[in-house]
Structure 1
């Protein structure tokens, strides 16, 4: 990450009654590279004391962004009795900035590494919740935006062949079973303006020769949100540089298309899936989300399109982002009732 004179950005203010509390913390690993993830959680309280949440949602952020961009909208979760936590992925945000070599590490990640990292966060979250509130008392949901939406979807659709090729990083069945449901928010499955096939093919060839090659991404603030404050923040944010490793793009670019064309067949039928997308998304195509929901054989699957919304659904103007957040929170409630019924039977 380059040294920048840009000032830290502040997301649009949102007044949320009974917003609970939040805390920043580190999620340590036993990886050989001593990776640790900057994380933040928002949790419900009563009379100033933390209370057991109805659910916990693990948020997986998108490309060239980080969790704290959402620090105002995430207050809605505890206001409804739920907890939400997010972690800055390897190569991004405060996780990268606090690493030993932030310039070298920025955007330095791959899909297999991201699956391994997500599994670690799921496991540590399950352990924390069980120790605090009792075994499996608080269900865990995944919410992934854009690149993160592709990750939470791909996490559940790895083929046996893929698992054999990436054995050390393949999501385990145990970790997947810890997830009660998945929400893919504007997922990176297909792009609104996809590159020609030969560009994707060429990128693979280049990476085989120059695995550490960098790439500048053409991602403009005005194309991600209709809110001018959000758009300006994105352009000037010191934590959102646009020069990354090409290998960070390869996974979602090729893998996203594979999910809607083939890998969707591996989605577990019993795993609830919600895909939400803006019809005016200029980055990822809502048609990709439509194809996923049409094709996946899940007993509980839903597609919710928001007419005229752009890509950054949880950072759209005014009440629009609140409408999206409340829809996601409302989606969790019926699944909680279903889980309780299953445990009682």
Structure 2
């Protein structure tokens, strides 16, 4: 049976909460997972245990400003600028290098957008050779229809962000937009770690990253080898059409897969109970297909 191990990752004076889902035996692959906005790594239901049961070790962490990495009220949503967000993720990835097994990076929602920002950042081009593949779940590449923020609100939000970058702002998402499972909706409402609070600096950075991806202003580093993107057609958290459009622009990448989940909502890993194993299998199959057959034979 997979085991779960809690820990911390230290970056300067910042301690990030971590959790690893370990297979029973030596892993054949490893995933570094990046969670979404107002989320934390313990909210991914069966996904991580299912992957671990197939020999894929999953390393999750609560990003700066979120989950158990928040130690006081003033730290809620305090992510810092995009440069800090990405350097935190790079620090976590590098803590797993060199790796004796293929290393994958997976991101959900905001975390998916952050993964793509990293994969497109020339500053980290040399890191691409160490990452076997990128897995994106409902990445934040665009707002869903009807949820695009008012331009006046955005303008004044950016202005406040320059004057008072650490000023906090409640930016809640409707739990019913996240999953079709009523129990998951209730779980979201009850989880005190989901504080729905960003800072004006952090929110502006997220908007900038999203716009850069959506408008095609950034390009994947040449060292990116493989990419899988899954998105639900009924997503009310991020835009399915924007993801599809972005994916179709990646003509220079040969090994890429786009998977549509018809009628599914934003949290593919926490959609209806009968669908969760389907999503976990899709992700696991794709990862294991990019690991040497002699390593995964016993796990298929």
Give me the TM-score of the superposition, normalised by structure 2.
Answer: 0.91
Using the TM superposition, give the Cα deviation of residue 270 of structure 1 relative to its aligned residue in structure 2, in angstroms: 4.4
The change in CA–CA distance for 1:269 and 1:201 in structure 2 (over 3 A counts) is farther
Using the TM superposition, give the Cα deviation of residue 288 of structure 1 relative to its aligned residue in structure 2, in angstroms: 1.4
Aligned to 1:263, the other structure's residue is in SS state coil
The residue number in structure 2 matching 1:103 is 73
Match of 1:200 among 154, 165, 174: 154
Q: Do residues 329 (structure 1) and 300 (structure 2) align?
A: no
Give me the TM-score of the superposition, normalised by structure 1.
Answer: 0.80
Distance 1:212 1:28 in 2: 22
The residue number in structure 2 matching 1:11 is none
The residue number in structure 1 matching 2:236 is 282
Distance 1:176 1:251 in 2: 23
Aligned to 1:273, the other structure's residue is in SS state strand
Match of 1:315 among 247, 251, 270: 270
Q: Do residues 298 (structure 1) and 272 (structure 2) align?
A: no
The residue number in structure 1 matching 2:88 is 117
The residue number in structure 2 matching 1:41 is 20
Aligned to 1:57, the other structure's residue is in SS state strand
Question: Contact (CA 8 Å) 2:46, 2:277: kept in 1 or not?
Answer: no
Using the TM superposition, give the Cα deviation of residue 71 of structure 1 relative to its aligned residue in structure 2, in angstroms: 4.9
Match of 1:76 among 46, 50, 54: 50
Pairing of 1:152-171 with structure 2 (within 5 A): 152-158=115-121, 170=123
Match of 1:245 among 199, 220, 223: 199
Question: Contact (CA 8 Å) 2:46, 2:269: kept in 1 or not?
Answer: no
The residue number in structure 2 matching 1:227 is 181
Distance 1:88 1:217 in 2: 18
Question: Contact (CA 8 Å) 1:264, 1:292: kept in 2 or not?
Answer: no
Deviations 1:79-128 (A, max 9, x none): 111111100001111111xx3xx10101001322111111111111225x
Q: How many residues align?
A: 291
Q: Do residues 90 (structure 1) and 64 (structure 2) align?
A: yes
The residue number in structure 1 matching 2:298 is none
Aligned to 2:19, the other structure's residue is in SS state strand
Distance 2:128 2:223 in 1: 13
Structure 1 or 2, whichever has the larger Rg, is 1
Deviations 1:167-218 (A, max 9, x none): xxx5x33333221110111011101021244433332222112222221113
Deviations 1:33-82 (A, max 9, x none): x112111111111xxxxx22110001100000100112533110121111
Question: Contact (CA 8 Å) 2:105, 2:133: kept in 1 or not?
Answer: yes
C-alpha root-mean-square deviation of aligned residues, in Å?
Answer: 2.0
Using the TM superposition, give the Cα deviation of residue 153 of structure 1 relative to its aligned residue in structure 2, in angstroms: 0.6
The residue number in structure 1 matching 2:139 is 187
Question: Contact (CA 8 Å) 2:30, 2:101: kept in 1 or not?
Answer: yes
Using the TM superposition, give the Cα deviation of residue 271 of structure 1 relative to its aligned residue in structure 2, in angstroms: 2.1
Where in structure 1 do 4 or more consecutive aligned residues deviate above 6 Å?
none
Question: Contact (CA 8 Å) 1:57, 1:84: kept in 2 or not?
Answer: yes
- Any gaps of 5 or more consecutive residues in structure 1? 1-18, 46-50, 128-135, 160-169, 341-345
The residue number in structure 2 matching 1:211 is 165
Question: Contact (CA 8 Å) 1:273, 1:301: kept in 2 or not?
Answer: yes
Question: Contact (CA 8 Å) 2:114, 2:209: kept in 1 or not?
Answer: no
Distance 1:239 1:218 in 2: 13
